[in-house]
A and B are shown apart, each in its own frame.
Chain A
Amino acid sequence: MVRLIDPSLKKLSFALSEMGTLDIKIMSLATESFVVGTNTSSEALKISDMISKKYFEVGNLTFEILLKYQPVAQDFRFTRSSIEISYDFLRFGRYAYDITLIRDSFGDLRRCVRTHLNDSFVLVERMVKDAILSFATLNLDKARHIQEQEAMVDIIYRERMLSLINSKDTKCAMAEALVLRYLERIADHALFMSDSVNYIITGEHRGRPPIRKV
């Protein structure tokens, strides 16, 4: 049975999936700027702008749905989470652009890319993909998996920070610290997203993990 609310919900899902596609693209641009060494900042800026436009579009849509149809139960949870998820998407784009900016101002940093940084890039990019997928398919297992991945990113971040304090290569150390910081934020938002997915499905918030000291 098609309900009055359904077309609007469809439109909302579509806008969110577009955001997801853009985020995957901008994430790979960020990775590329370090691993391959190309300066992608101008392209990333364009995509980041598109994402923020979409963010406002989703905002308008959610309020229209809330006011027009007064959704309840899963419809309500989906609509409500859309606001949070679109914000996560917005942050993904923003941090990815920030990463490309480091490449832009520091120059080619390929020599600084060591295993840890490489691993982090791969891991976070996969997390973002997983988060988007878990939302697109409303898959609870994928959402749960993200929690473990996030913990790993955290560990890398903390260990690398300690070792970077004593690094002689200031340029690389600074760049790596900044990038790791951004990646850690992205991973955090992926976690928030998985939590939203969990809320859409079960109706309950998992509760945010405690704030960790750096």
Chain B
Amino acid sequence: MTYTDRQQKRAEIRAMFKSNVRRRLWVDKIVVGTVIVCALMAIIPLIWILGTAVYSGVPALNWEFLTGKPGAVGAGQISIGPAIQGTVIIIALTSLIGLPIGIMGGIYLSEYGGNSRFAKQIRFFMDVFMQVPSIVLGIFAFLAIVLTLGYYTVWAGAIALSFIMFPIVARSTEEALRMVPWTYREAGAALGLSKMVITLRIVLSQAKKGILTGVLLSISRVGGETAPLIMTILGSNIFFSGFDSSTDALPLRIWRLSLQPYDEARIAGWGAALTLVIIIFAIHLGVRYFFLRDKSGKGLRGVLRG
């Protein structure tokens, strides 16, 4: 191809460009617009829900409501003290069971299992577990624990909920660990470190953020579950009185209150819902602040941003 040929060809190609630039700019604008609208549509329900919860729930909030025992309906004050306490206890116990299993399982899957048959099977069962309706897990815990022991116990609830928790934690831990570039493991190995040290001290610290996200997601999931609790901790009107009796929890209480025809129950229900949201939010903030503050160095703002 001679020089002039090339020049001509170039001019032709350039001519082709110009004619469709306008149209492409329009298409670009439409696509960007659609994406923004979709994003807004995803946010609107969230704001709506939060707004409604705050709007309807704030009137119910007062000291007595948060700390007292629930009296008889119609006899004045409804309180959710035992429900708050129960929820905190159940989240703590579930985390106690679910987090170690979940995180260790995730470490196994990512660092040790690899593509072995065993690891693949575990991964499959985890995925299945995540799909199982939570009521089924509740029934399982009821049959296996409550019926065997002969009484409702908070442990049964915690175990049922940990079944929801650990697959989420394990899979998100695995993903987070896999995101850590291989080169850091090699760098660790080249320093003569054992695999356990590399995993725990080098890889895990880089995957911290991803793991925390999974953990918090599972806590939120668990904190809001109602179905497995009906048949394991039953619900109660009194504060926690031991591991061999029924306990109350916020989702249960909300559910109960929503079944009642009275106005004050409805308001109390919203108040309980708002309280649940605040508790979950507090846990998120607290955990993120505790684990991520050093690195970001930007205090609470850095934590909020992510």
Taking the complex as a whole, does A directly touch B, i.e. does some CB pair lie under 8 Å apart?
no
Q: Which residues of A contact B (CB under 8 A)?
A: none
B contact set with A: CB distance below 8 Å: none
